[in-house]
Amino acid sequence: MTDRPLFVPVLLGTPRQGRMSEHAARVVWEEVEKRPGVETELLDVAALPIRVDDAGEGAKDPAFSEKMNRADALILVTPEYNHGYAGLLKHVLDTNLKEYIHKAAGIVGVSAGVFGGARAIENLIPVLRELGLVTIFWDVNFTTVRRRFDEDGNLVDESFLAIDKFLDELLWMAKTLRYGRENVTIGGSS
Amino acid sequence: MTCPRCGAQMNHQAEKLVQPVTADEAAAASTALDGVLELVFACPACGLIDSRRETGETQTSA
């Protein structure tokens, strides 16, 4: 089995000004960085030069696609806007396909209320499935997010975040799926 | 498929049904599947993902 480090980027999924999800994404990214054998990068949909008047191959950003190609797992940080995820996150995800297939995906939900983005997460799961990503059964929910961080964006309440459990499961899935992608042939007996 | 980056033999790891977007893709779509099959490969040596459509068209890497 290959000894290449896992690559697990964190994608901040909203471009809105004043987004609290930025703080959440940074906290998760810092936790991923602590894991041995894992490389990560914090990506921001607001910083991607992806045109919004085209789709698929026509809208691909080569640098973003290269990162998705290299990724073994993807962490999506999504706020909940009117019970859904941000529109730009969907558009960005839709610019790739083969890059995602049989790779692990974990979702971090962020909301001002007590559900911690749970409804946005539930809406996002069938989209990820169609993109070929494999979702895990742990989420991270930043509930009542404005109470979680101080004015400088420092996390002041870590209760019930379960980031360690989330990352344990995501990295297990990432390793397992990498083995499958590289060694198990579809329709074969190996 | 041979890995375009390192030359190793790639593993055929998935077949994904893709809905046609362009007129050419629609013309090439299988009526039985209502879409085009994308054959996806992974390189066990360097990890690169690549694919080609069942029609024979190669989808170049990012």
ipTM (interface predicted TM) = 0.90
Q: Given a cut of 60, is residue A190 above it in pLDDT?
A: no
Q: Assign A189 a pLDDT band (cuts: 50, 70, 90).
A: low
How far apart are the C-alpha atoms of A59 and A52, rounded to whole Å?
7
CA dihedral A134, A42, A108, A55 (to 10 degrees): -60
Q: Assign B62 a pLDDT band (cuts: 50, 70, 90).
A: very low
Percent of chain A residues past pLDDT 70, beyond the cut: 98
Query: Hey, is A101 helix, strand or coil?
Result: coil
Nearest in space to A142 (alpha carbons), one of A115, A175, A106: A115
B62 to chain A, closest Cα gap in Å = 5
pLDDT tens-place string over residues A65-86: 999 999 999 999 999 999 999 9
pLDDT tens-place string over residues A107-156: 999 999 999 999 999 999 999 999 999 999 999 999 999 999 999 999 99
Whether chain A has a CB inside 8 Å of the CB on B21: the answer is yes
Give the burial class of B22: count Cβ atoms within 10 A of its Cβ; 0-12 exposed, 13-18 middle, 19 or more buried.
Answer: exposed
pTM recorded for the entire structure: 0.93
How far apart are the C-alpha atoms of A67 and B62, rounded to whole Å?
9
Helix (DSSP H) and strand (DSSP E) numbers for chain B: 1, 4
Q: How confident is the model over A45-65, as a mean pLDDT?
A: 91
Within its chain, how far is the Cα of A42 from the centroid?
10
**φ, ψ dihedrals at A169, nearest 5°:** -70, -40
**Single-letter code of the amino acid located at A15:** P
A107 to chain B, closest Cα gap in Å = 23
A5 Rama sector, left if φ>0, alpha if ψ -120 to 50, beta otherwise: beta
Q: Assign B28 a pLDDT band (cuts: 50, 70, 90).
A: confident
Residue of B9, B11, B18 to mutate, testing the A interface (most A Cβ within 10 Å of its Cβ)? B11
Nearest in space to A166 (alpha carbons), one of A133, A142, A150, A149: A142
How far apart are the C-alpha atoms of B62 and B51, rounded to whole Å?
11
Which residues in chain B are contacts of A186 at CB distance < 8 A? 12-15
